[in-house]
Amino acid sequence: MFCGTLEAAADARWLCENKISYLINLTGVSRIKIRSCSCADTLYHSPIEYIPKFNSDSTYKEITTEFHKINDFIQEARSKNACILIFNNDGYDLCQAIAIQYMMDYYGGLMLHHISSLQMKVKVKVKISPEYLEVLSFWEKEIEKKNPRISNNKSLRSFSFKINRKLAQI
């Protein structure tokens, strides 16, 4: 799974090189389909695109309802062993929030655990606005309702507290 910009989504050569055949378009506008790759493998020249239906005025419930649809789309891609690009104008904020909410749902665990994992293990600079952090907190509560083991796990809560302190220092 990749997070990137509109430019990355329009670069057919880059999509081919990274074997991306699924796109989650967070710009709200259909992507301009540019074929600038001359390779013979056309599988990656026309990726399947999903455009979520929410905006800055959407409620938490509307956004998390869309999370379920996004996660089904990602699961479809994973079932086909396909790579996914989540993109918007800057490649941060909402892109990263979408990736993190998927990780929370698929792998379990708390939001701060996954943010820390990206920052420390993968060395990704995580930039998520306070608004989307609030949505992720709401999503975390929904996931905890599905799997109460997550919220009752003291070691995870302790780990998240340590992460939270570390994130505050960054």
Q: Using one digit for the tens of pLDDT, what is the confidence trace for 55-67? A: 778 898 899 999 9
Instruction: Return the DSSP state at 44.
Output: G
Domain ranges of the chain: 2-169
Q: Which of 43, 113, 34 is nearest to 82 (CA)?
A: 43
Query: Structure pTM?
Result: 0.81
Model confidence band, residue 35 (pLDDT cutoffs 50, 70, 90) = low
pLDDT value, residue 99: 95
Please give the structure tokens belonging to residue 165.
């302190």
CATH of domain 2-169: 3.90.190.10
Reply yes or no on whether the pLDDT at 34 is more than 70.
Answer: no
Closest to 1 in 3D by CA, of 32, 24, 30, 35 = 24
C-alpha span between 99 and 89 (Å, rounded): 16
Q: 40: which DSSP letter?
A: S
What pLDDT digit, counting tens, does each position of 115-168 carry? 998 888 878 889 999 999 999 999 999 988 877 665 544 444 444 444 444 444
Structure tokens at 131: 């608004």
Distance CA 138, CA 67 (A): 12
Cβ 23 vs Cβ 50: under 8 Å: yes
User: Residue 155 has what pLDDT?
Assistant: 44
Q: How far apart are CA 73 and CA 114, in angstroms?
A: 20
